[in-house]
Amino acid sequence: MRTLIKHVLASTEPKEALAIKGWVRTRRDSKGFSFLELNDGSCLANLQIVVDATTPGFENPATLTTGASAAVEGNLVASPASGQKWELRATHIELVGAVDPTYPLQKKGHTPEFLRTIAHLRPRSNLFGTIFRLRSRLAYAVHQFFQDRDFVYVHTPIITASDCEGAGEMFRVTALKGNIDEKPQTDFFGKRTYLTVSGQLEGETFACALSNIYTFGPTFRAENSNTTRHAAEFWMIEPEMAFCDLQGDMDLGEEFIKAMARYAQEHCTEDLSLFAKFVDKDLPERLKFVIERPFVRVPYTDAVKILCGSGRKFEFPVKYGLNLQSEHERFLTEEHFKSPVTVFNYPREIKPFYMRLNDDHKTVAAMDMLVPGIGEVVGGAQREERLDQLLENMRSHKLNPEDYSWYLDLRRFGTVPHAGFGLGFERLLMFLTGVSNIRDVIPFARTPGNADF
């Protein structure tokens, strides 16, 4: 039976007759024998295999080169040389799949930009193998975090007719040919439909029944965004809590990010060491800081005062009523506070209709969590639970209440204060790994003009 390399390397004693399968990372030949390093993706480290020239199956060593797949049987022994604790003395080796000389991955390091062009092969590199192992572990940690707190996982629809205002441009979904706007009532669903930009509105309906819920699924934005932190398809986590206000919302967001950092630190130690070494030297220190220190919380009004009083020249103006620009958010989180920062209570004019109006009648109970290096990683709010106020908000945002009748019903039938947020899973991964481009933390990135693979 096959043993994964991660288990082989964790062995505490020599073992006989192990079966290993994987891909050759590199080979070093000596007279009469070769060193083969095999990787099967179960961990970052390779297993060194010593193959004698007379080992059965090794009659044609030229075929067992970088990239080839192989099955090896042998005995695990303590390695006499430094560099690895264990090595496998092969008793039999078999070429499973040969590799063409055009195999693009080399033993030496490649740039992430080049590896992006071969997205089908890049998980075989150290960096991307590590990234995607960590992505998997963290997806699990997300569920564990919410399930441990009695949150119910809700699968909100991917195809939707409702627009979660303010979330961005939507991709149209249609089965029509020709002019798709001529008779939308004849379309597959009998109306215009889109790929979801957020499961929030549907999530609210479940929170107003099951109390605490979360979604975790693909989300689509048709924005022509070309940046290191935007993708047209990404995974979003959206908790929603009934009987919860903005304070509780901010508490959960902060607790969540800390928990994810802690999980990575405890469960992905080997993988994190690679990021610290080759991607972001400050990563261990940053994770420690995030875990240990409370996040700074500052009302929008105070944030504006800090920015105005900073003496800094900003490219874009800072004034009450204007959105904070990237440079302002960067200043707050990277320079002024040098810590993750939650900005809350934004002017009502710059936020969507569903956010709850504060008693000052000027601001809404919104919050954005900003982290150094990435900017906004969480955006959330307490929702407007008062029917009259919600209707007024919709009027001032020029929305038709008829389009949101089911959403308004939540306020008619046993309304409750509730709050939630959206968190970009890829941005979280960027923060936890130091990887600076969102295209490198998602297996096959969808960005404007690019849907290869």
User: Segment 279-318, which members bind RNA (CB under 7 A)?
Assistant: 316
Strands 296-299 and 341-347: parallel
Strands 375-382 and 363-371: antiparallel
CB of 35 to RNA, least distance (A): 3
DSSP, collapsed to helix, strand or coil, labels residue 231 as coil
Stretch that binds RNA, among 144-152, 267-275, 390-398, 444-452 (CB under 7 A): 444-452
Strand order in the sheet with 363-371: 152-153, 212-220, 233-242, 418-424, 375-382, 363-371, 341-347, 296-299
Q: Structure tokens of 159?
A: 């195809």
Q: What is each CA distance from 92 to 17, 52, 83, 287, in whole angstroms?
A: 10, 10, 24, 45
Contact call for residue 414 and RNA (CB under 7 A): no
CB of 438 to RNA, least distance (A): 6
Contact call for residue 42 and RNA (CB under 7 A): no
Q: Structure tokens of 224?
A: 């022509």
Q: Which of 26, 42, 211, 339 binds RNA (CB under 7 A)?
A: 26
DSSP, collapsed to helix, strand or coil, labels residue 239 as strand
Q: Which of 75, 265, 339, 437 binds RNA (CB under 7 A)?
A: 437
Give me the sign of the Cα torsion angle 116, 267, 342, 255: positive
CB of 412 to RNA, least distance (A): 26
Q: Which of 2, 7, 28, 277 binds RNA (CB under 7 A)?
A: 28
Contact call for residue 444 and RNA (CB under 7 A): no
CB of 86 to RNA, least distance (A): 10
The phi, psi pair for 258, rounded to 5°, reads -60, -40
CB of 65 to RNA, least distance (A): 5
Contact call for residue 253 and RNA (CB under 7 A): no
| Biggest CA-to-CA distance, the chain | 85
Q: Which of 213, 303, 438, 441 binds RNA (CB under 7 A)?
A: 438
Contact call for residue 426 and RNA (CB under 7 A): yes
CA distance 29 to 37: 11
Pick out residues in 146-175 that bind RNA (CB under 7 A): 166-168
Cβ neighbours of residue 282 closer than 8 Å, sequence gap 6 or more: 434
Q: What is the DSSP letter of 441?
A: S
Whether the Cβ atoms of residue 153 and residue 199 lie closer than 8 Å to each other? no
Contact call for residue 116 and RNA (CB under 7 A): yes
Which residue has 């209570």 as its token pair? Answer: 345
Contact call for residue 249 and RNA (CB under 7 A): no
Closer to RNA by CB, 263 or 331: give it: 331
Whether the Cβ atoms of residue 88 and residue 8 lie closer than 8 Å to each other? yes
Residues that contact RNA, how many (by CB under 7 A): 75
Contact call for residue 106 and RNA (CB under 7 A): yes
Contact call for residue 389 and RNA (CB under 7 A): no
CB of 343 to RNA, least distance (A): 12
CB of 108 to RNA, least distance (A): 3
CB of 267 to RNA, least distance (A): 23
CB of 292 to RNA, least distance (A): 23
Pick out residues in 189-228 that bind RNA (CB under 7 A): 198, 221, 223-228
Stretch that binds RNA, among 131-139, 201-209, 232-240, 337-345 (CB under 7 A): 232-240
Sequence letter at residue 418: H
Cβ neighbours of residue 391 closer than 8 Å, sequence gap 6 or more: 401, 408
Contact call for residue 84 and RNA (CB under 7 A): yes
